[in-house]
């Protein structure tokens, strides 16, 4: 058994470079993957906090690679130059822990008013470390090697341990408050495991430091840990980082789920709005006119009927008139939501919903045409919502452009995506039919310009002379 342990120790020492490389790669790729998947437009607090976790991963990976590559430079660099690089590596280590600490702090938002002052605490502690153990420690130390050990240990004690524990607690809190209500059990489980990995990393990364003549470094340190468990602390940190990477990246599927729900909300709003307007038009053009005609007929008959019948017909006319007033009040109530709204603010409200899912560039030409009627603004905003919803769902685009121009008394609304384009023979689904209906109700011309892999441009031209 002792021979086996000795061989294992010898193998670990011989492959130290490989272990450091894998350790750095796990954290670097973890941070880079989060940068690619994070979404600042999400309504989830987790999305706004992820860049800090990504910064921790990338910077910590670079720091660990320093342990691998700096010894190679000893043959090529002078001692002062090498010490300068080692100082920069120390700063990378402390900044990475500060990012982890700040990630945990951001997950606690919104903080109570009385606790707002603690939000910058991680970088206050970093500055204190930079001025104390790093700057003054270097000035007062007789040995650069001893100074590096002290600065390393204090960065881990005061930044890594609280940062890892706070980040773990913050992830658990987010899983409970924001993910559980969505019914996403699998993602909640991934975040819970990630929280545990962060706490484990906080302990292994912060508590196990180089041996120093102070407590607890004289009792719990990297040398004694390796003697007891054979494997160096970097192995356990790598495992914690690997678990953290897998679970957090899996958890980022929540943004896809959120985007899908936002799209469904937009489509539901559009369908409800379309159904409400269609019902209002049917009532106005059909039932209301028939009731009004019935009232006129009853009023005409009451003039020719005998007195005993005329009285009943008059009551019938009164009941019909009351029904007409109620129908008119219903129609006005359904149109009240779009009164006194200007076109650009109305469009911006619709576009703000889309920006939660995908970037949207807007270009508004001023001055714009005379004030449009509420009905026209309603049709234009509903048209825009439908076009944006279709682009998100079908175009596979990374950007949408919305442009509003006013040229020679013509209002032109242009909505362009940069996706795969329309098929050669597109089926007239609900979305296309709805946009064509809106254009017809506006008295506007509508055309589609599309090319494979070059996107689709939707152009709506409204003559404001005729509209007025």
> Is residue 324 within 8 Å of residue 312, measured between CB atoms?
no
Angle of the 374-390 helix axis to the 343-354 helix axis, nearest 10: 20
pLDDT of 93 reads 93
The distance from CA 433 to its chain's CA centroid, rounded to whole angstroms, is: 31
Residues of the chain with pLDDT under 50: 336-340, 467-468
Domain 2-251 indexed as CATH 1.20.1070: yes
Spatial neighbors of 14 by CB under 8 A, at least 6 apart, are: none
How many angstroms separate the CA atoms of 5 and 16, rounded?
A: 16
> Which token pair is 399?
């950007």
> Is residue 426 within 8 Å of residue 379, measured between CB atoms?
no
The helix or strand, by DSSP H or E, that contains position 382, with its residue range, turns out to be helix 374-390
Count CB neighbours of 61 within 10 A. 23
pLDDT of 192 reads 92
Q: Output the furthest CA–CA distance in the chain (Å, rounded).
A: 123
The DSSP call for residue 142 is: S
**Neighbour-count burial for 217-245, b at 16+ CB within 10 Å, e otherwise:** beeebbeebbeeeeebbbbbbbbbbbbbb
Count CB neighbours of 287 within 10 A. 13
> Is residue 406 within 8 Å of residue 368, measured between CB atoms?
yes
Provide φ and ψ at 39, rounded to 5°.
Answer: -135, 110
> Which token pair is 83?
């010490």
The distance from CA 69 to its chain's CA centroid, rounded to whole angstroms, is: 36
CA proximity to 61, closest of 171, 225, 205, 159? 205
User: Residue 349 to residues 284, 342, 358, 405: CA-CA distances in angstroms?
Assistant: 28, 11, 15, 19
pLDDT of 329 reads 64
pLDDT of 47 reads 79
> Is residue 385 within 8 Å of residue 346, measured between CB atoms?
no
Domain 340-468 indexed as CATH 3.30.479.30: no
The distance from CA 12 to its chain's CA centroid, rounded to whole angstroms, is: 42
């Amino acid at each position: 058994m002792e021979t086996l342990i000795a061989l294992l120790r010898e193998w670990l020492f011989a492959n130290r470079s490989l272990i450091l490389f894998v350790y750095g790669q796990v954290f670097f790729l973890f941070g880079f993957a989060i940068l690619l998947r994070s979404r600042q437009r999400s309504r989830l607090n987790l999305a706004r906090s992820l860049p800090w976790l990504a910064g921790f991963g990338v910077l910590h990976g670079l720091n660990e690679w320093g342990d691998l590559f700096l010894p190679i430079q000893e043959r090529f660099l002078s001692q002062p130059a090498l010490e300068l690089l080692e100082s920069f590596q120390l700063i990378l280590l402390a900044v990475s822990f500060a990012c982890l600490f700040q990630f945990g702090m951001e997950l606690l938002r919104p903080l109570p008013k009385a606790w707002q002052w603690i939000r910058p605490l991680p970088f206050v502690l970093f500055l204190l470390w930079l001025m104390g153990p790093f700057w003054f420690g270097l000035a007062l130390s007789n040995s650069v090697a001893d100074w590096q050990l002290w600065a390393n240990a204090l960065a881990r004690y005061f930044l890594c341990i609280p940062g890892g524990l706070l980040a773990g607690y913050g992830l658990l809190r987010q899983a409970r408050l924001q993910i559980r209500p969505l019914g996403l059990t699998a993602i909640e489980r991934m975040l819970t495991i990630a929280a545990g990995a962060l706490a484990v990393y906080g302990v292994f990364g912060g508590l196990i430091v180089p041996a120093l003549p102070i407590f607890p470094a004289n009792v719990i340190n990297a040398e004694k840990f390796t003697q007891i468990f054979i494997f160096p602390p970097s192995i356990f940190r790598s495992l914690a980082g690997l678990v953290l990477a897998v679970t957090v990246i899996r958890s980022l599927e929540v943004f896809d789920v959120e985007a899908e729900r936002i799209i469904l909300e937009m489509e539901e709003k559009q369908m409800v709005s379309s159904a409400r307007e269609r019902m209002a038009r049917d009532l106005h053009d059909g039932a209301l006119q028939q009731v009004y005609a019935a009232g006129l007929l009853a009023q005409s008959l009451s003039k020719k009927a005998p007195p005993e019948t005329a009285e009943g017909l008059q009551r019938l006319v009164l009941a019909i008139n009351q029904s007409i007033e109620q129908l008119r009040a219903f129609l006005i109530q359904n149109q009240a939501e779009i009164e006194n709204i200007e076109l650009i603010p109305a469009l911006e409200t619709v576009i703000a919903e889309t920006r939660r899912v995908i970037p949207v560039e807007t270009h508004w030409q001023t001055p714009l045409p005379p004030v449009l009627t509420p009905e026209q603004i309603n049709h234009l905003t509903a048209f825009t919502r439908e076009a944006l919803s279709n682009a998100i769902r079908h175009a596979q685009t990374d950007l949408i452009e919305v442009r509003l121009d006013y040229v020679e008394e013509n209002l032109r609304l242009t909505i362009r995506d940069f996706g795969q384009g329309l098929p050669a023979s597109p089926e007239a689904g609900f979305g296309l039919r709805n946009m064509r209906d809106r254009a017809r109700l506006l008295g506007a011309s509508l055309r589609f310009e599309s090319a494979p892999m070059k996107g689709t441009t939707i152009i709506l031209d409204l003559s404001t002379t005729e509209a007025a």
